[in-house]
Structure 1
Amino acid sequence: MKLERLLSIIYRLLNHEVVSAAELADRYGVSQRTIYRDIEAICAAGIPVVSYQGANGGYGIMKEYKMDKSLLGSDDIASLITLLDSASTVFQDERAQETIQRLKTVQTDNGRAPSLRMDLGSWRAYVALLRAIRASINAGRVVRFRYMNAKDEHQDRTVEPVSLVMKYGTWYLYGYCRTRRDYRVFKLTRMSELAELPDVFEPHPETRMDEMFPGGGFGHEQVEHAVIRFAAGSSARVLDEFYVDEKTFHEDGTLTLTIVEPIDAEWLIEKLLCFGEYAVVLEPPSLRQRMKKKIAAMLGRYEEV
């Protein structure tokens, strides 16, 4: 596409002092004569392209025309580039790549390593699903898929996809479920047999994050607070799983965790069971009882051992 090539050439000229016609022709797979015409079109649009003669000659844009690099701090720009680059790697987003090129026009090279890195590799197991859903969102097309709910029931859902949300370390699809005639949140790991339908739907109004995940996003019974004692040797794992919660370290190596915000009881129980004998619920009594019942049920499966 000529327009896309022209825009890309402009960003490349903004990011480099001098670029030769041969380099541009090779990059875009066209002849140098086509590049000459492209440069004329860019100049006709009011962008001051300067021609430099000589062995190292080529084209560049007047320095006075380039954006002031002081508008954003170098760390801010580097962070934005890193985040966009990570997302574009997963979604193969050409628009994000174009935005990166724009940001690079105002980036100052300070010679330091990036202060922020992000690797989305942990989501590559279902990257095809992420790309397919986002394509349907951008196209405004309805999707259908099989979904397993919290009761292990498989159901067919027809959804008008609104947005992909990464929350609680997991990707979710938020959309209007035609099956339930209401907005719903779907965990991507529970989706299968995704298919895009020919139906086109009208864009949905912007939705706040708390509306997508009412009550914390789990939909189970919550406990208002919890106090858990962890045995010596488990503190590092506790920090990994409960970093933001209040923790008290004791001289004997044990640790007391206090959760003062409402939290999903089932999620907390499953998380604590991963600690085995290293975790003991002290409060509230109702949570202790639920833990005891869960452990008894687990022991019941090993009666014949």
Structure 2
Amino acid sequence: MRASRLLSILLTLQAKGRVTARTLADEFEVSERTIYRDIDSLSEAGIPVYSERGSDGGYRLLDGYRTRLNGLSAEEADALFLTGLPGPAADLGLGAVMAGAKNKLLTALPEGLRRGAEQMQNRFLLDTPAWFAQAEQPEHLQEVAKAVWEQRFIDIRYRAWKAEKRRRVAPLGIVLKSGSWYLVGAVEGNPRTYRISRILEFSLTDARFERPADFDLAAYWHESTRRLEAELHPNRATLRLSPWGRKMFEAFLPPYVCAHAEFGDKPDETGWTTVSLPVGSIRQTCVDLLRFGAEAEVLSPPDLRAAMAEIAGGLGEIYGGETSGREGSLSRDVDAPASPPDLKSD
């Protein structure tokens, strides 16, 4: 919010020439003391803002100074337009704001850079949802975004995997991951992650909180997801893959598993390859490996191999004769996998 106000003050000074602190304070609905601090910040950033005393005094820019963005390189100007996400911005209630900002930026760019920026928008597209999945549009997304921006506590009723819970949360940030929206918020000072679509009830309080000065949203998110992926895959399994199975390895298994897989030096005389990979629960691993059909064989651990054999036998019974209504072996009471969307929510 302050960065936006600083830019607006700069554009106001450029457009009007000389403006008093009182006028700026009224226009931006802040105190004169805040304007004084903003002017000091602009000066510290190298903007030539001058103060003139007297009845006709006020603040003005050095004669001839213009806030044109001609200090950008062509690559920098192009890259700026890769950051625009019209779909998510609209979900947050900022669609019109983003469109206006892009138009202002295009207008401010020199002609040569403007053409490159327009080409960037027409040639590159970021589509955040996964294949065959629809992006979420949670009911309370815009209210959560307002709470994050205004640093106000929220009271929520949240549907976790095991039970519904009520929490008072200090909202610190919002993350869009594979088409799903997540709230990172502190509960009693400890950061937690909540999938916004699972917020059943939402209340924005009047109580405000101080955002931790050392909290880095990107750093928290990367560390928590890395830790979660490791916790979900605490064991390792060894497989044999046919040539086709090896070809489909990255398509069938999660990115974390593929990134930490270790393949044998070379295929054997039949073309099959040995691979060691991280795995989680028996149930979830069986679900993942069934995609390979007969193109993969589990060598170890023994309990995973036995589970796959049991499932294969059950499938043989189901498809080898008449429909029997037999309950599949995957419905047995095996430890269910943890769910990535909850991350460290409580």
SS of 2:202's partner is strand
Q: Distance in 2 between matches of 1:124 and 1:185?
A: 19
Does 2:81 align with 1:108? no
Identity percentage of aligned residues: 14
Partner of 1:158: 168
Q: Distance in 1 between matches of 2:179 and 2:271?
A: 28
Aligned residues of 1:227 and 1:259 also touching (Cα < 8 A): yes
Instruction: Name the aligned partner's letter for residue 172 of structure 2.
Output: V
Q: Which of 50, 73, 78 matches 1:75? A: 78
Q: CA RMSD in A?
A: 4.8
Partner of 1:132: 143
Q: After TM superposition, give the deviation of residue 165 of structure 1 in Å.
A: 2.1
Partner of 2:215: 206
Describe how 1:209-220 pairs up with structure 2 within 5 A: 209=220, 210-213=222-225, 215-216=227-228, 219-220=231-232
Does 2:152 align with 1:141? yes
Aligned residues of 1:143 and 1:158 also touching (Cα < 8 A): yes
Q: After TM superposition, give the deviation of residue 285 of structure 1 in Å.
A: 0.7
Structure 2 gaps, min length 5: 20-63, 319-323, 329-346
Q: Distance in 2 between matches of 1:267 and 1:189?
A: 26
Q: After TM superposition, give the deviation of residue 135 of structure 1 in Å.
A: 1.4
SS of 1:79's partner is coil
Aligned residues of 1:143 and 1:159 also touching (Cα < 8 A): yes
**CA pair 42-213 structure 1, distance change in 2 beyond 3 A:** same
Aligned residues of 2:238 and 2:300 also touching (Cα < 8 A): yes
**CA pair 172-77 structure 1, distance change in 2 beyond 3 A:** closer
Q: After TM superposition, give the deviation of residue 214 of structure 1 in Å.
A: 5.6
SS of 1:202's partner is coil
Instruction: Name the aligned partner's letter for residue 229 of structure 1.
Output: L
Structure 1 gaps, min length 5: 11-37, 47-61
Q: Distance in 2 between matches of 1:303 and 1:267?
A: 18
SS of 1:133's partner is helix
Q: After TM superposition, give the deviation of residue 272 of structure 1 in Å.
A: 0.6
Deviations 1:44-76 (A, max 9, x none): 259xxxxxxxxxxxxxxx998632165241532
Does 2:305 align with 1:282? no
Q: Could you tell me the TM-score, scaled by structure 1's length? A: 0.58
Q: Distance in 1 between matches of 2:15 and 2:280?
A: 58
Does 2:180 align with 1:174? no
Q: Distance in 2 between matches of 1:183 and 1:87?
A: 23
Aligned residues of 1:272 and 1:279 also touching (Cα < 8 A): no
